[in-house]
Amino acid sequence: MMRRHAALLMRIAILAGLIVLLEVACRTGVINPLTILPPSDMFAAMIDQVGSGELNASIATTFSTIFLAFALAVGCGTVTGALIHRSTRLRDVVDPLLASYYSVPTFIFYPLLVALLGIGKAPLVVLGVLSAAPAVVISTLAGLDGVAPVLMKLARVHRLTPARTLRWIVLPAALPHLFTGFKLALSYALIGVIAGEFILSGTGLGYAISFAYQSFDNRAMYGAMLFVLLVAVTANGILYVWEGRLARRRSRG
């Protein structure tokens, strides 16, 4: 308990130190403020932009796209993982593909996706799902592999129906792994969607950053960047805390 808190304080101190360092470097001219805005200015820019409402449409588009991609990745990934788990033959075929999946830069398919699905939400959602779903599949497989055979035997001793076995035994037993998958899926969906907007889109936060970059609007660019960063970190932080709560129950202490 003490150690966890100490580590947390240390982490915050390091981050705060780096931010202060950057601030000082910018203010004293060690770093050209035209290249990087001082963090305090970035923050002010973010408040301005988000407060003014000019980003509202982008925020709504981007986060609804991310959420859609995340939800689809979790749904499809879990079901696909469960199906693969059921068939040993399919598993033998698919395992190496899954293991090497993330060596493929999915982004290169973006032009193809646009050609197939047009410009708009659809190719971005697909891109997000393509980045996120395999992580869910992999962690679902790991989770199902981890269900102790003796617990499946227990289900038979208690004459549980398949649905109850799933709900009472398999899902809770696999939950820690599933959760890791969901966490990764959220990050990957976010990266996939925002990067997609960046490359080839007319809406969204990724596009807003890219547009500001191309029009030399540093304030707008850094403001939007900081906003994306904070949202990503917060979302992940919430999952992290939740996961920690689940995990702590199962381990000592």
Partner 1 sequence: MRAEVTGEAHVSLNEVVRRYDGPPAVQALGPIDLDIRRGEFFSIVGPSGCGKSTLLDAVSGLVRPTSGIAHFEGKELSGEVPDGVGVVFQEDSSMPWLTVRQNVAFGLRTSGLPKTEVSDRVDHAVNFMGLSQFSDHYPAQLSGGMRQRVCIARTLVLRPRLILLDEPFGALDQQTRLLMGDELLRLWRETSATVLLITHALDEAVMLSDRVGVMSARPGRFIDMVETGWPRDRDSRVIADPAFGALTGRLWTSLREESLKTMGRAA
Residues that bind partner 1 (CB under 8 A): 148, 150-151, 153-154, 156-160, 164, 168-169, 172-173, 175, 249-253
Least spacing, CB of residue 176 vs partner 1, in Å: 9
Residue among 3 and 252 whose Cβ is closer to partner 1: 252
Residue 115 or 163 with smaller CB distance to partner 1? 163
Instruction: Annotate 116-137 with DSSP letters as a single string.
Output: HH-SSHHHHHHHHHHHHHHHHH
**Shortest reach from residue 58's CB to partner 1, in Å:** 41
Output 2 or 157, the one with its CB closest to partner 1.
157
In whole angstroms, give the CA distance from residue 201 to residue 2: 48
The distance of closest approach from Cβ of residue 161 to partner 1 in the complex, given in angstroms and rounded to an integer, is 9
Closest separation in Å from C-beta 190 to partner 1: 29
The residue behind tokens 């059921």 is 86
Of 54 and 145, the one with the shorter C-beta distance to partner 1 is: 145
What Cα–Cα distance (Å) separates residue 79 from each residue in 82, 86, 99, 211, 239? 5, 11, 18, 38, 21
Distances (CA, A) of 129 to 149, 184, 196: 32, 12, 12
CA neighbours within 13 Å on the CB side: how many for 23? 11
The encoded tokens of residue 162 equal 């398949």
Nearer to partner 1 (CB atom), residue 27 or residue 167 = 167
Nearer to partner 1, 118 or 146 (CB): 146
Q: Which is nearer to partner 1, 5 or 250 (CB)?
A: 250
Mark out the alpha helices in the chain (DSSP H runs). Answer: 2-27, 39-52, 56-86, 88-100, 110-117, 121-145, 149-157, 162-164, 171-200, 204-214, 218-250
DSSP per-residue string spanning 66-101: HHHHHHHHHHHHHHHHHHHHH-HHHHHHHHHHHHHG
Does the CA dihedral 27-29-33-38 come out positive or negative?
negative
Q: Least Å distance between CB 74 and partner 1?
A: 20
